[in-house]
Amino acid sequence: MDTLPPEQVVLVCQNRGCRRAGADRVFAACHKHLPVGIQLVGSTCLGQCGNGPTVLVLPDQVWYCRVHPDEIPTVVEKHLLGGHPIAAMQCKAT
């Protein structure tokens, strides 16, 4: 029996610190560039205060910090579609 790959979900923190750092623009860029089938969620605090805007990709558990809207197409191409997380953008979960 074939099984479907796990659903990809992109969480973009929309809490105060991340919003002050431009998380609303990151969310808008994700909305524009994410392919059909990848869920986009505006989340509450992801616990990376001071590193925002923060993006968490599930089920991969890959955290991206200080994300700029212009970086979203690269995240989509390399990570979400290509399966290669971008090490230079990653941060550790706290």
Q: Is 74 inside a domain boundary? A: yes
Q: Is 3 inside a domain boundary? A: no
Q: Is the pTM of this model over 0.85?
A: yes
Q: Is 84 inside a domain boundary? A: yes
Q: Any idea what the CATH number is for the domain that residue 85 is in? A: 3.40.30.10
Q: Walk along the chain (94 residues) and give the pLDDT tens digit of each residue.
A: 555 456 899 999 999 999 999 999 999 999 999 999 999 999 999 998 889 999 999 999 999 999 999 999 999 999 999 999 999 999 865 4
Q: Is 1 inside a domain boundary? A: no
Count of CB atoms within 10 A of residue 32's CB?
11
pLDDT at 2: 56
Q: Is 53 inside a domain boundary? A: yes
Q: Could you give the number of structural domains in the chain?
A: 1
pLDDT at 43: 96
Residue 53 buriedness (CB in 10 A; 0-12 / 13-18 / 19+):
buried
Identify the domain containing residue 34 by its residue range: 9-89
